[in-house]
Amino acid sequence: MTLSWMAWTWPTAIFFITIFGLLIGMGVWEYAVPGGSPRVGILRFETTRGDRLFVSLLGSAFICLFWLGLVGPSLWWALALCLGYALCVFRWV
Amino acid sequence: MSRITLDHIAHSYLPSPKTEADFALKEVHQVWEDGSAYALLGPSGCGKTTLLNIISGLITPSHGRVVFGERDVTLLPTEARNIAQVFQFPVIYDTMTVAENLAFPLKNRKVPQAEIDRRVAETIEMLGLGPMARRKARGLTADQKQKISLGRGLVRSDVNAILFDEPLTVIDPHMKWQLRSQLKQLHRRYGFTMVYVTHDQTEALTFADKVVVMYAGEVVQVGTPAELFERPKHTFVGYFIGSPGMNVLPAEVAGDRAVVGGHAVALGQHYRPQPGRTEIGVRPEFVRLDDGAGSLPISVRSVEDIGRYRILRGAIGPHELNAVLPEGRAIPASPRVVFDPARVNVYRDAHLVEAEA
Amino acid sequence: MEKTWNNKAWFMVLPVLLLVAFSAVIPLMTVVNYSVQDTFGNNEFFWAGTEWFEEVLASERFHDALFRNLAFSLIILAIEVPLGIAIALAMPRSGFWVPVCLVLMALPLLIPWNVVGTIWQVFGRADIGLLGHTLAYLGIPYNYTQDPVAAWITVIVMDVWHWTSLVVLLCYAGLVSIPEAYYQAAKIDGASRWSVFRYIQLPKMHRVLLIAVLLRFMDSFMIYTEPFVVTGGGPGNSTTFLSIDLVKMAIGQFDLGPAAAMSIVYFLIVLALSWVFYTVMTNYGQDER
Amino acid sequence: MTSSPSAGTAPHGFPAADALAPSRPQANVRRDGATGLARLSFLIPTIYIIFLLLPIYWLGTMSLKTNQEILGAFTLWPTNPTLANYRVIFTDPSWYNGYINSIIYVALNTVISVSVALPAAYAFSRYRFLGDKHLFFWLLTNRMAPPAVFALPFFQLYSSFGLIDTHIAVAIAHCLFNVPLAVWILEGFMSGVPKEIDETAYIDGYSFPRFFVKIFMPLIASGIGVAAFFCFMFSWVELLIARTLTTTAAKPIAATMTRTVSASGMDWGVLAAAGILTIIPGALVIWFVRNYIAKGFALGRV
């Protein structure tokens, strides 16, 4: 059995490690402070931490796509924008 | 509001009923007075919902006529009968606000908007729903929802009667009591004709002017709560109303005596000898401990202390006998009881027998 | 129902998690890996960065396929949902005919998707198909292999044929669950047929309708087999939907990188839409309590 | 006003049926407000069902015709019905093996999906645990993910495990969308069972597995049936993944159908016969679950 066809690269590996790290982090956070601190934010329905993380990640993916489509290949600014967006989501949604 | 006449109504779900057993509702001939509250009381499957549906027009009776006031409505559909109904489960229009719910029946009848607003405001005030008038009806509690369904009837000025089909089934116990007394108050103030279906005797007795007791598709007695208590016309009424129910003992009746299991029991009045199966009925409240002459021996099964009184559950021979006893008197090891002669009723084939004049 | 907090419940979910993760997570990670690399086969990969994403996002072909897919999904929803509601409303509520109707209606749902394609491919042909022959006989020009409009109509009618029953069955399930008392109350309140629909049936069907819209949107958005069999994406590219394009690119041309990048964009769109639908659905349910 | 009913019946007596009947002919009819329009409403489902059945009918007639008849004169029904096309399928192993393959992997998939979904659905319906809601949503997204996205990595993943062209490979791959659906349906049905039943069973000394099999599963039997039906259905109709993961030994019938393109042109009759044969198992399954269909489509929750 060989898994070389999965064609791992360092950037994608780091990407997935980050995602899994975030998930584990959320798990630990949830374990420490159970309940997910639900609240009703600007979307006018109840969200928990996990929802906010999901919205941040999904939104970031779209920000990067739009950046690639409209601005250019250098994603560093897009990443900064994503970070800002994620902070906003965690603050207000 | 109007008087409801049930003119020899009977109903069978079968196309051509042959025997009495084919009828879900055996013949009823009643006149229900305008502005009174009637409770239809009976165990499940006794035909009370069938009777209610006949009045509301969901079922056309196979025999007889339904008359509102002077108008024969037997063949009229529900919507033409001008009745209102509150169902077992709150029926509300989820997407509308409380006020819109109340306005709905008026809007459908093309009532002018100003009139609708006035009447809706009145009804909301009447039911004490003011604070939530603008809220969506969906989020309210069950008792508030029931009030809305009642309000949809009250808001109309032309209602002949308001029908209630076990409306307190899904209400929390403490709200039940509150809603019931509020309903009674509304009835006193506005005097609508009310037909109330229930299987809960407390509900029926506290609520209605007249209770219609039904059993196996038959109306066995119509009367005030006091009448039902004192002179049950059918052993079922005696058994069903009161807690514990009336004691029914097989007896041979002759003159002013009845013989129960070899013991003579005094009767308040004089009866002709009866053919068929005869029984005497006496309420537990009218059974006293007494070991004097004419007393009956009773074997004690259990004694329940209710607080203000005690219930002695026992038997005379093979027949169950309950007695309600005052607090504070010891019950002897082998007690004997007497019945209050004026309160002993005689039944033949389960129906009350009138005494000779 | 009040649920108890119990983390041991994880052990009950674990088999599902492993089974689904095996088929979902590993391929997903592989697709992500492919999307940033170039390959000529032989398991040799070269770093390409975000090149494929830029290419896909700028590509006319992708935009067209995406637009076609969205248009197709919207048309499908606009036809199937009202039609499904209407049929469900007209169905009898009880009696001998109910199971017969339900069985016959469910039939297209259980036909393998390529057979559905084959059925319509045959049915629409002018030489051997009933529909094509009848239309030709009536003098109506219809040829789905040449005319893009005819091809679109064929694909849409086929989807309506295939999937409207799902909407019907969902709505019907919602309708039969409305207690009789609601209809009685509406009668007493003097409501018109329209009011009954608007204020009783539609609100009570809300939940199942959302499920119907969700399922129909997602399934039509990932439609592949049926149009592939009928039109093969043609004539020209007129019925080339995202899935068809993707398979063409990945398997036909072995352009793994662009295909993977496109898969990811595609998947993100589906994910975002699913999330919106799911959130609307669950929050509507919570409202009711 | 109708004439007043016969007087003189006993208070609790019972009038003879014919005594009252003449005054109230045809009264024993439930009024549903059936207007003329409502009476015609059966037409809508009828027309719809005709629309559904016409293409299937056409496939059926084609399967009973010879190729000459199909391509020759246009007829609405077979003039010379023949079972030759079916004979081709039932005598050629590469045809009928397709059937057996399909049924094997569909059955495997149904069993696997339902048996892993049962405990998971129980956990979702009874407990709250770390990340439960997100897990549930994640499961559902797999139901929504387009299989075309996964086709190629699927092939490579299953080849590296040496599973290509085996029934179990297709069965496991179909779990991707069937397990989430089964969990969703079963969770709906399980939430309808009051929790008190679990607690009573534990008090009565049942162990969890015994409770689950002996008490709980019978209670949600119809839910299990509905879930199995849906797993069967989606596994049976899916082609893209099934075709990607198989070459010959486990090739599904639906994929075999592409074989009918031969040098001499399309073999329409055999194609139609094969199509009809793929409809039959589905039709049989629907017939068995017909009384649960409406309930199942409500996913046990409405």
CA distance D161 to chain A (A): 6
* Subunits close to B (at least 3 CB pairs below 8 A): C, D
Enter the tokens of residue C210. 């959302």
Beta strands at B247-250 and B210-215: parallel, antiparallel or unpaired: unpaired
Q: Where in chain B is the domain with CATH 3.40.50.300?
A: 4-240
- The CATH 2.40.50.140 portion of chain B extends over 247-352
Q: Which range has the worst mean pLDDT, A73-87, B117-131, D15-29?
A: D15-29
Residue contact D160–A2, C-beta within 8 A: yes
State the CB neighbour count (10 A cutoff) for residue C206.
Answer: 17
**pLDDT band of C41, cuts 50, 70, 90:** low
* Interval B52-95: pLDDT, tens: 888 888 888 888 888 988 888 888 888 888 888 888 888 888 88
Compute φ and ψ for C37, nearest 5 degrees. Answer: -135, 165
pLDDT given at position D293 = 72
Cβ-in-10-Å burial (0-12, 13-18, 19+) of C242 comes to buried
Decide: helix, strand or coil at residue B16: coil
Q: Do A31 and D130 touch (CB under 8 A)?
A: yes
- Assess if CATH 3.90.1150.10 describes domain C60-288: no
pLDDT digits (tens, 9 = 90+) for A26-39: 888 888 887 777 77
Q: Is the preceding omega at residue D119 within 30 degrees of 0, hence cis? A: no
Closest approach of B109 to chain C, Cα-based (Å): 7
Residues 6+ apart with CB under 8 A from A89: A52, A55, A56, A59
The domain segmentation of chain C, as residue ranges, is 60-288
Contact D14 B20 (CB under 8 A): yes
Contacts of C53 in chain A (CB under 8 A): 65, 68
Greater pLDDT, C86 or B127: C86
Judge: B83–C188 Cβ closer than 8 Å, yes or no.
Answer: yes
Q: What are the φ and ψ backbone dihedral angles of D261, each rounded to 5 degrees?
A: -80, 110
- Residue B231 burial (10 A CB sphere; 0-12, 13-18, 19+): middle
Rounded Cα–Cα distance for residues C257 and C265 (Å): 13
| Domain made up of B4-240: CATH architecture | 3-Layer(aba) Sandwich (3.40)
Gap between the Cα atoms of B272 and B174, Å rounded: 50
Q: Residue for token digits 């199937």?
A: C80
Q: What are phi and psi of A92, to 5 degrees?
A: -115, -25
Q: What is the pLDDT of residue D16?
A: 32
CATH number of the B247-352 domain: 2.40.50.140
| Beta carbons of C225 and D240 less than 8 Å apart | yes
Q: Tell whether D141 is within 8 A of chain A (Cβ).
A: no
Question: What is the Cβ-side half-sphere exposure of residue D219, based on CA atoms within 13 angstroms?
Answer: 19
What average pLDDT does range D267-285 have in this prediction?
A: 86
**Any idea where the domains of chain A sit in the sequence?**
47-93
The two structure tokens encoding residue C47: 């770093």
Instruction: Enumerate the H helices of chain B as residue ranges.
Output: 48-56, 98-108, 113-127, 142-154, 173-190, 201-207, 225-230, 235-240
Q: What was the pLDDT predicted at D259? A: 62
With cut-offs at 50, 70 and 90, classify the pLDDT of residue B241. confident
pLDDT for residue C238: 83
Query: DSSP for D122-146?
Result: HHHHHEE-TTHHHHHHHHHHHHHS-
- Taking residues D45-56, report their average pLDDT: 91
Reply yes or no on whether the pLDDT at A76 is more than 90: no
Degrees, nearest 5: CA angle C192-C197-C202: 155
Q: Any residues with CB less than 8 A from the CB of B352 and at least 6 apart, and which?
A: B231, B232, B233, B234, B345, B346
Minimal C-alpha gap between C175 and chain A (Å): 28
Q: Which two tokens stand for residue C113?
A: 């998707």
Whether D3 shows a pLDDT value over 60: the answer reads no
**Using only C-alpha atoms, what is the Rg of chain C?**
23
Nearest CA in chain D to C97: D42
- Looking at the DSSP bridge assignments, the partners of residue B249 are B280
Q: How close B175 comes to chain C (CA, Å)?
A: 18
Question: What is the per-residue pLDDT across D126-155, written as a single tens digit (0 to 9) for each?
Answer: 888 888 888 888 888 887 777 776 777 888
pLDDT band per the 50, 70, 90 thresholds, residue C161:
very high
Contact between chains at B84 and C188 (C-beta distance less than 8 A): yes
pLDDT, greater one: C276 or A3: C276
Q: How confident is the prediction for chain B on average, in pLDDT?
A: 86
Contact A7 C29 (CB under 8 A): no
Instruction: Please tell me the distance from the alpha carbon of residue D275 to that of residue C251, in angstroms, as a whole number.
Output: 26
Cα–Cα distances in angstroms (integers) from residue A54 to residues A40, A63, A66, C91, D269, in the given order:
16, 14, 18, 42, 52
Please name the helix (run of DSSP H) or strand (run of DSSP E) that holds residue C286, with its range, or none. Answer: helix C256-287
pLDDT reported for residue B316: 86
In 3D space, the residue among C216, B200, C98 whose CA is nearest the CA of residue D293 turns out to be: C98
Q: Residue D264 above 60 pLDDT?
A: no
Q: Considering only B45-54, B272-281, C200-209, D7-16, which range has the smallest mean pLDDT?
A: D7-16
Of the candidates C220, C100, C171, the residue with the CA atom closest to the CA atom of residue D283 = C100
The two structure tokens encoding residue B309: 């009184």
- Give CA–CA dist B186/B126, Å, rounded: 8
**Chain C contact set for A7 (CB, 8 A):** 30, 33-34, 37, 39, 43, 45
Average pLDDT value over all residues in chain D: 78
Helices and strands of chain B, counted as H and E runs? 8, 22
Q: pLDDT band for position C72 (50/70/90)? A: very high
Does D286 touch chain C if contact means CB atoms closer than 8 Å?
A: yes
Quick one: pLDDT at residue D36? 56
Task: Say if residue D300's pLDDT is above 80.
Answer: no
The residue-averaged pLDDT of B38-58 equals 86
Cβ–Cβ of A62/C272 closer than 8 Å?
yes
Mean pLDDT across B204-216: 86
For residue D19, pLDDT beyond 50:
no
Identify all chain C residues contacting B105, using CB atoms and an 8 Å cutoff. Answer: 188-190
Phi, then psi, of D78 in degrees rounded to 5: -65, 125
Please name which of B11, B18, B27, B21 lies closest in space to residue B61, comparing C-alpha atoms: B11
Q: What is the mean pLDDT of residues D182-206?
A: 86
* Cβ–Cβ gap D134/A30 under 8 Å: no
Kindly determine whether residue B138 and residue C199, on different chains, have CB atoms separated by under 8 Å.
no
User: Which residues, at least 6 apart from D88, have a Cβ–Cβ distance to it below 8 Å?
Assistant: D95, D270, D273
Q: How confident is the model at residue D296 (pLDDT cuts 50, 70, 90)?
A: low
Domains in chain D, CATH or no CATH each: 41-82 (no CATH), 91-262+270-298 (1.10.3720.10)
pLDDT at position C10, please?
A: 85
Query: How far apart are the CA of A16 and the nearest CA of chain C, in angstroms?
Result: 8
> CB pairs below 8 Å between A and C: how many?
57
Q: Average the pLDDT over D261-282 and give the result.
A: 78
The pLDDT value recorded for residue D32 is 44
The band of D13, judged by pLDDT with boundaries at 50, 70 and 90, is very low
* Percent of residues, chain D, with pLDDT higher than 90: 12
8 Å CB contact of C1 and D191: yes
The helix or strand, by DSSP H or E, that contains position D23, with its residue range, turns out to be none
The pLDDT value given to residue A21: 93
pLDDT number for residue D35: 53
Residues 27-46 of A with CB under 8 A from D: 27, 30-31
Rounded-to-integer distance, Cα B123 and Cα C157, Å: 53
pTM of the model: 0.81
